[in-house]
A and B are shown apart, each in its own frame.
Chain A
Amino acid sequence: MANFVELTVKNVSINAFAAAAEVFASVATNGESSATFGAYFKMDDAGAKYLLVARNKDSANADETITVYAGNGAQGVKDITLTTLGFGEYTYTCLDSGRFKYVASNGGYCDLAKTIPHNVSGLSEKGHVFISGTSADTTLAVFKLV
């Protein structure tokens, strides 16, 4: 079964370079007949800021739609969505954990994500943030700020 892709969060240092061959990863289909393309990352630090950068990498399709899902904590009241991510364009936002982090595993996004890689079944969404895109043309990068 296909899975959402787990994003590797890039830790940022002050006044020191960090290098990576690639920082963007494509969202991946969950393999359902009505496919959802998505990604998730572990938001493992209390009070930390996370910068999400999204890019549409493919010219063949129309604008991509990207959604960051509200978490299930007290502040998780509303998803945020951008519907106009054109070819080659970027968008970005700084994410608050209170708004987007899952604080309990209630199965809502487990149903989408199914399993994490390496066949570990039963992803607990607790502690994670979930993002979806229109297709695999949506690429994402996450930076954990200092």
Chain B
Amino acid sequence: MAFATITPNALTINSFDAAGAVFTALTAQGTNFGATFKMDARRYLIIAKNDNDDTPASLLSAAVDTWGVYDTDHYPGTVTTQTFTATTLANGDIARIGYTLDAEAATVDCTVVKNATKWSLTGVVSEDLSIVIEKLVASPNTITVKAVMDAGEGAPTLTIDTIIEIKATNFLKIHTGEFGVNDLIQQPFAGESYLYLELESYYFKKLANTGGYADMAKTIAHGITMNEKGYCFITGTEDVSVAVFEMI
């Protein structure tokens, strides 16, 4: 087994490419999952998706009752009693809030901020609406849910259905080349979500065959021993796949 070899998709201007696959799954080499592609162009667009659909149990024992969203000038928040098992959340984890806004279900990911006294989650739903959930460490069954909404935006109804902890171990890393300084790391990389960026070859292309990455990748497909010179290396966790577009 080897790292997957990605063939970058060449972008065409004003015409569709033939339909087909664009994402390549990271494949295992020992305990590492990874992929590599030949970096012949100066810049690439990368889209990565994490198809991990493990759905942990909600931290809420039940959905928080429907409550109105109001102009915060007049209604600064709502306090409700609910069992909220937040003990495994840590500062920097991602929590996914499942909510129903005006009968339409959706999710929003937010970063957990935890200090000695409380956990705090802020999910930005739109330009006009944010959901803020706070729980004091000392009050296990009381959370504060607050909708922060611009004045004059109406009064939709909102239910907090679930709060799910995203595994902090999922990650995606783009390894730096010899001229680069740091690897790019996204951790945690939430399940059922995407990452995207443009990547410069100057920083991420391997310029020499040092053996460092060959040690991970060992061989490319078809059993050819790999020379990493000219390649970009991506590692991550299982269920991650990557699309690479060669910029024009």
Contacts and interface: CB of A to CB of B under 8 A. Distances in A.
Given A10-B196, A15-B199, A80-B14, A90 B20 contact: yes
Interface string A66-94: 10000000000000111011101111111
A99 B247 CA distance: 19
Interface residues of B, number: 41
B222 to A, nearest CB: 25
A66 B20 contact: no
Interface stretch (A17-25, A102-110, A120-128): A17-25
A145 B45 contact: yes
A116 interface: no
Given A23-B194, A90-B20, A143-B196, A15 B203 contact: yes
**How big is the A interface, by class?**
35 or more
A52 to B, nearest CB: 9
B47 A145 contact: no
B168 interface: no
Contacts of B19: 56, 63, 82, 84-86, 89-91
B47 to A, nearest CB: 7
Contacts of B22: 53, 90, 92
B15 to A, nearest CB: 6
Interface in A1-27: 10, 12-23
A136 interface: no
A10 B192 CA distance: 17
A89 B23 CA distance: 10
B116 interface: no
Contact of A15 (B16, B17, B18, B198): B198
Contacts of A93: 11-17
B211 to A, nearest CB: 25
A80 B195 CA distance: 28
Interface string B1-37: 0000000010111111111111100000000000000
A46 interface: no
Nearest to A23: B194
B79 interface: no
A92 B200 contact: no
Contact of A95 (B14, B200, B203, B245): B14
Interface of A: 10, 12-23, 49, 51, 53, 56, 63, 66, 80-82, 84-86, 88-96, 99-100, 143, 145-146
Interface of B: 9, 11-23, 43, 45, 47, 96, 107-109, 172, 184, 186, 189-190, 192-200, 203-204, 243, 245, 247-248
Nearest first, the 6 A-B pairs at minimum CB distance are A82-B16, A89-B19, A90-B22, A17-B186, A94-B11, A23-B194
